[in-house]
Homo-oligomer: A and B are copies of this chain.
Amino acid sequence: MIQHDYTFRVKYSETDKMGIVHHSNYVRYFENARWELFRSIGLPYTTIEEEGYMFPVISLHINYIQKVVYDEKLTIHTTLEKIKGVRLFFSFMVYNQDEKIVCKSQLELACVNREKWKPCSVPEFIMKILQKTRPN
């Protein structure tokens, strides 16, 4: 279980005519958050692709709890819950500046071979870094 906090501001182009963040943008926020978690343990996602792997999303669940407006500063608390075979399980909690939860999500990635899109176990070089990072 590895955790990371990612803080950013909502951009104008991410709002819609309701005056709030369009719900599709959270999917992008979660992507940014999980690669920042990987960067924080010395494993930028670019390295993963350069080594011949990709992590496409295979499922996601999102609960929208409170609306968020332009320029709000959000913090996403990301947890890499577990890795099981070809799958990586993440959870995300999004907090606003008042430390209220505005959104939460669970998401599943698959590890695939970049050439053939063939599912494969998360490779050794990644597992080693993850084990080194994991609090005991």
Contact = CB atoms under 8 A, between A and B. Distances in A.
A22 to B, nearest CB: 5
A32 B71 CA distance: 10
B60 A62 contact: yes
Binding site secondary structure of chain A: mixed
Given A16-B16, A60-B62, A11 B24 contact: no
Interface stretch (A51-59, A84-92, A119-127, A128-136): A51-59
Given A12-B17, A45-B12, A64 B59 contact: yes
28 contacts: A12-B22, A12-B31, A13-B31, A15-B17, A17-B17, A17-B19, A17-B20, A17-B69, A18-B54, A18-B56, A20-B56, A23-B57, A24-B24, A24-B28, A24-B31, A27-B27, A35-B71, A44-B71, A45-B70, A45-B71, A46-B71, A56-B67, A58-B64, A59-B61, A59-B64, A60-B60, A60-B61, A67-B117
Interface of A: 11-13, 15-20, 22-25, 27-28, 31-32, 35, 44-46, 54, 56-64, 67, 69-71, 117
